[in-house]
Amino acid sequence: MTPRVRWTGFTFPLEERFLTSKEAGDVLGMSPRTLDRYRSKKGGPAYYKFGSKVRYKTEDLHAWAAERRVGEPTKREVQADSVKD
């Protein structure tokens, strides 16, 4: 079952919700300030601007993190991926 979040009278699946810099940092294990630095250098995960607000999507955070993977996947990870498909 997909976790859901209630927000201003609407319920969204968690992965469809826009995350704040703090929440995005929690997903990636880094501080919101680090995300700010990446953004100012035109790097980091894709983000959205709503006026002055910066928001992230969970799938963009995971895709950005996956691009930074170093090394080959372990045998266990390959087996886990084949089970998902």
Reading the block at residue 80, the tokens are 């886990």
Residue 40 lies in a domain: yes
Residue 11 lies in a domain: no
Mean pLDDT, the chain, integer? 82
Residue 64's domain spans which residues?
A: 20-70
Residue 64 has pLDDT above 60, yes or no: yes
Residue 3 lies in a domain: no
Confidence of residue 70 (pLDDT cuts 50, 70, 90): confident
Average pLDDT score over residue span 50-75: 89
Higher-pLDDT residue of 78, 67: 67
CB 56 within 8 A of CB 21: yes
Reading the block at residue 22, the tokens are 């703090």
At 17 the pLDDT is 82
Residue 56 lies in a domain: yes
